[in-house]
Structure 1
Amino acid sequence: MQDGHSWLSISISFAGGLALFLFGIRAMSAGLKKVAAKKMESFVATILNNPVYGLIAGAFATMIVQSSSTIVVILVGLVQSQLMTSTQALAVLFGAEIGTTALTQLIAFGVHEYGPLFFAAGFLLNSIAKREGIRYTGEALCGLGLLLFGLHLMTASTTPLLGYQPFIALLHNLRNPLVSVLVGLCCTAILQSSGAFIGIVITLAQQGVLTLEAGMPLLLGANIGTCITGFLASAGLFRAAKRVALAQLIFNATGVVLFIAIIPWYADVIRFISFSVPDGSSVMLAHDVPRQLANAHTVYNILMALLFLPLLPPFSRLLIRLLPDNPDEIRQVPSVWYIQESALATPSLALSYARAEVARMSRILERMVSALLYPFISVEKGKDSVFAELSVLEGITMREEKLDFLESSVSEYLIAISRRELNEEESRQVFALMNIVKNQESTGDVIEKLIGKYLQGNTVFVKGLTEEGKTELVLLHRLVCAEIETLTEALLKMKKETVSESILCDTVFLSQVSQAEKAHLKRVQSVAESGVTHNIHMDLLDVLKQVHHYNKNCARILSEFSSSAK
């Protein structure tokens, strides 16, 4: 072991095995997700009111996709989209921690020598199967084969270290539980996979150089280290989503505090239930410790989940106290303000609520359209007009999500109203509102498409428009903003008189568009900058024309409804 070439050979083999192991986990997880994860999110989301069912759902879902991080990310997304509360997500989270132990048990069975067989079977299924589900199953088996073969390489690469005293001394230092927890935490955070680090731990145990007492703190540290994925997934999201990541950290950190002091006693319990007896020989350690570590990991996570499950209400209150809701964030979440299911029994009342919600959509659209030009005419990101913590682009994206949500919610509400006994005017109003909502949502889609085409992430448009071009666009932009402001007032009353005639008789707008297009084409012939920004200039003109078109549609619908109501 003094030879430099030996160290190089060991390092290459171990790194290659670890890479195969990590890639195998990802490939297996990807295949399993394709087989089952399409239904997994809806399955998890339906387990809302019964914590026990949530616990079972979380464990089952994690066993299927073989990644607690995936389940945590799903939970963060469900909470962010208000399909699940952070309290409801906790039980599923506890179950996910149990589900992670399935991979540990698989590794501990020592079947890594059969990795090539699993890979061959998976490759065969993936190549010859016609059914999509079978091909994805083959993909998962390929991942499992690579995972096991990676373990085999890691095991083989560490064999020369068994007689190397500095390495043995290093492992002896891991007998300090706090050091071991820290090592497990850091390694798992770096690898971004608790399964990968646990695989390394069990590989060492299979070599007979790691005792049960030395291995358990490493597993405890791995449980904390895996929490980094949840924090990364919740970054930039609402506090309700961040509470899911915080809950995972508190859950696992509490487990470390409770168990680290009783590791010797807990190790004796695990040996007893694993039908093992203490023995210091390396042969006995290699045979028994991997299975004991897997059992310790499983029992630990089950006990922690059962401990926390009855404490869900106070635990949830603690999380809210540690990370309270931000009122501004709540206002950013897509939600209905006015429509109520209880009002459906009185159609006239329900329609007044629907009108208020549609007028609110118009106000949202008004702010969205008013911010439309800013990213293209300013080199600064700018701040949203209502939420100072958001940039202009983030505000546009947030409102587009609101419009999509409200379009679906209000349309369903109007359909429910239409099924009631309505008089002729109420029927016409339902139909008018449905069409207006569709035009509002289409306006939002036009803006979203433009932003997606030219602006990625939170950037600004760097190819500057000419000052003359900016002036022409700003004038047209003011016109469409004024149109939406007028429509907002009209929607509250559903009266033609409040609709500006300039929207319906759009000669002024079309005349300015024609003048702007001609002026721009002249500049293209003589000004180099205009040629560079020709496409974006024409796209902005086209978007403003489309916004005007949808405004005109809404004005026409209101005008026709008002005329027929007389």
Structure 2
Amino acid sequence: MDTTLQLLSLAGAVALLLWGMHMVQTGVQRAFGPKLRAVLAQTLRRRLSALVSGAGITLLLQSSTATGLLVTNLAANGLIEFVPAMAIMLGANIGTALIVAILSFNVSVLSAPLILLGVILFRSDRNPTAHDLGRVFIGLGLMLLALHQMLAVLEPLEHSADMRTILGVLEHLPAVAILLGAIAAWAVHASVAVVLLVASFATFGTISLETAGMLVLGANLGTALNPLFEASADNPMSRRVPLANLGNRVVGIAIAWPLMPWIVEGLLWAGFGRGTATAVMHLGFNVILAVATLPLLGPIARLLNRLVPDRTDEDDPTKPRHLDTSVLEFPVVALGNAAREALRLADALEAMLQEAREAVSSGNRYRISATRQRDDILDALNSAIKAYLAKLDPDLLSETDRSRLNQILVFAANMEQAGDFVSGNLLPHASKRFKRGLPVEERQEQTLESLIDRLIANIRLAASLFMTEDTPAARALAAEKLAFRKAEEEATADHFRRMHGLSRAEVQGDALHVDLVRDLKLINSHIVAAAAYPVLERSGELLKSRIAPHEP
């Protein structure tokens, strides 16, 4: 077998290894995806538990890159704090090194049984979890099979003069070896495959153990690049986590590089074989880095917060502007910030209704579509407010603070739900009316415009009431429900009264008009619930039920 064919066979074995890793990763995510996120959420209090969880999840996913991308995404969305996210990444680095250590032993005999078990489970259509676990076992079997093929291909290469010449260059260029390992790990999105390949070369003496160590250092560097390159440029947190991990690797490499001759000498003195020594170097590098870095995560977080500061794009309405996390230890200030942000939901809903007024009257499909997209602003701000308030320590909150917190959550949720009704009900009904070419009477158009104007006025009253908690204003806002209920009853009665004298198209147009009035009534209900009901409930003026008490 010539060198070219051998290299092609080696590339095929590496590709099979990567595909097996992909099957394991997707199978685990499908079977346990929500549980993995729950495990991460439960490890936020302690750094050590976060590190252990990161290692365990990486063992399941078979890739520290996958764990890094998951953690970066959760941190960017405010679901994981920065320091625990860095601890999880330290654990992920240990986890991927443990995978290499386990696979470095001769376990290829398990390949066929794992694939057989995987196929049996994969064909189980009645149990989705068993089906996904079948994918995992097939992937593990393919990984072991790929490693066996890699060893079979590399054995003849030991005596290949061409291969020894190519790899011999790395003996005198350690920086090139590190760079080559980094590029390889970055390209395949997995340091496991690269380190196992390096260990195989070292086993057969194709490269020296010192060169293998340099390639392993490079693989550790390369696998830290993918989450950084895939991070969102608009979200500072999505860049801080991978930057911290990359900086950790760079510092570790700078320390390990000059010590490599003594590290190799110590491993050989301890009696490790060349392949096993390569895996031990990989594991030791990540364990030592994790132990040394874990106590320093606080200062590292503060440094990266300065290097990559929070950025608020004033032109992006979906970005919160007042949720300052530095004041979370002062609930009164933090609640004031959240209230200011909640008022932006009222502004966004008002702007959405003003555009909806024009869209409903004009029937312009593009304007209707653009107005519906404004609902994303309400969704994003509501999610940001909830995540911000969830960070408050309950032990620091007084009864007044808890009451205000609940009031903010109720206000924000109802404003967001009112936007959902505009986007999901009002505008689709308006679009349907014009798409079908249904007739619209001028008086109906005037009724809709009048009701939308009334809604906009109610939003402004609700925003004022949210800050002042004025009881008479709350009564006035609650009374608006009667006006909208009356408008719906009149539209419904008028529709049924005229049904027999109208054409089919006119009947459909009348029915859609009733739907539009009903949508406006439901939107107003959320506006009233956002600000009026909490005030009336505290003053004892809100009835628990509209149903009259029954006397037996």
**TM-score normalised by length of structure 1:** 0.69
User: Residue in 1 aligned with 2:462?
Assistant: 487
Which stretch has the larger CA shift, 363-372 or 332-341? 332-341
Deviations 1:478-527 (A, max 9, x none): 5533321121112332434464676652499879999xx9xxxxxxx9xx
Aligned to 2:224: 227
- Bigger mean CA offset, 173-182 vs 395-404: 395-404
Q: Which digits, 9 at most, give the CA deviation of each residue in 1:362-397, with x for residues without a partner? A: 5423324524776987989xx99xxxxxx9676444
Which residue does the alignment assign to 1:315?
Answer: 300
- Return the offset for 1:124: 3.0
2:198 to 189, 198, 201: 201
Structure 1 residues 285-331: Cα deviation after superposition (integer angstroms, max 9, x where no partner): xxx32211101111111121222223333323322232233366994
Asked if 1 retains the 8 angstrom alpha-carbon contact of 2:485 and 2:521, the reply is no
CA distance in structure 2 between the aligned counterparts of 1:167 and 1:406, rounded to whole angstroms: 57
Counterpart CA distance in 2 for 1:431 and 1:294 is 53
**Equivalent of 1:401 in 356, 360, 383:** 383
1:296 is the counterpart of 2:281: yes
Encode CA deviations 1:188-209: one digit per residue, 9 max, x unaligned: 1111111222233234334441
1:367 pairs with 339, 348, 370, which one?
Answer: 348
Cross-structure match for 1:306:
291
Aligned partners of 1:339 and 1:482: how far apart in 2?
Answer: 34
**Equivalent residue letter for 2:216:** L
Q: Which amino acid aligns with 1:364?
A: L
**CA deviations over 1:377-425 (Å, ceiling 9, x no partner):** 7989xx99xxxxxx96764442242466589999x99xx969x9xxxxx
Residues 338-417 of structure 1 correspond to what in structure 2 (within 5 A)?
Answer: 361=342, 363-371=344-352, 395-402=377-384
Q: CA deviation at 1:171?
A: 0.9
Contact 2:178 2:217 in 1 (8 A): yes
2:93 aligned with 1:118, yes or no?
no
* Residue 254 (structure 1) shift: 1.0
Which is worse superposed, 189-198 or 355-364?
355-364
SS at match of 1:118: helix
Q: Does 1:505 align with 2:483?
A: yes
2:52 aligned to which of 44, 53, 56: 56
Q: Which amino acid aligns with 2:347?
A: E
Indicate how the Cα distance of structure 1 residues 141 and 367 shifts in structure 2: closer, same or farther if over 3 A, else same.
Answer: same
The 1-side partners of 2:8 and 2:515 are apart by 54
Give the 5 Å matches for 1:2-401.
7=4, 9-10=5-6, 12-33=8-29, 38-112=34-108, 114-127=110-123, 136-158=132-154, 161-175=157-171, 176-232=173-229, 234-236=231-233, 238-273=235-270, 275-276=271-272, 288-326=273-311, 331=320, 361=342, 363-371=344-352, 395-401=377-383
**Structure 1 residues 341 and 172 mapped into 2: Cα distance closer, same or farther (>3 Å)?**
closer
Over 3 Å counting, the alpha-carbon distance change for 1:170 and 1:338 in structure 2 is: closer
Supply the AA of the counterpart residue of 1:51. R
CA RMSD of aligned residues (A): 5.3
- 8 Å contact from structure 1 (residues 338, 357) kept in 2: no
Residue 349 (structure 1) aligns with: none
Give the aligned partner of residue 564 of structure 1: 541
1:179 CA displacement: 0.6
Deviations 1:23-60 (A, max 9, x none): 21122223344565543333333334443343333323
Report the TM-score when normalising by structure 2: 0.71
Distance 2:264 2:427 in 1: 56
SS across alignment from 2:310: coil
Q: 1:439 Cα deviation (Å)?
A: 3.7
> Which runs of no fewer than 5 residues in structure 2 stay unpaired?
429-433, 496-504, 506-511, 544-552
Q: Could you tell me whether the CA contact under 8 Å between 2:322 and 2:341 is conserved in 1?
A: no
**In structure 2, how many angstroms separate the alpha carbons of the residues matched to 1:475 and 1:218?**
72
1:488–1:205: structure 2 CA closer, same or farther, 3 Å change rule?
same
Is contact 1:122-1:138 (8 Å) kept?
yes
Contact 1:116 1:145 in 2 (8 A): yes
The separation in 2 between residues aligned to 1:451 and 1:297, in whole angstroms, is 59
Q: How many equivalent residue pairs?
A: 500
Rounded to whole Å, the distance in 1 between the matches of 2:65 and 2:425 is 34
Contact 1:181–1:218 under 8 Å retained in 2: yes
The structure-2 alpha-carbon separation of the partners of 1:87 and 1:408, relative to structure 1 and needing over 3 Å to count, comes to closer
SS of 1:110's equivalent? coil
**Pair 58,433 (structure 1): closer, same or farther in 2 beyond 3 Å:** closer
Question: Which residue identity is paired with 1:401?
Answer: S
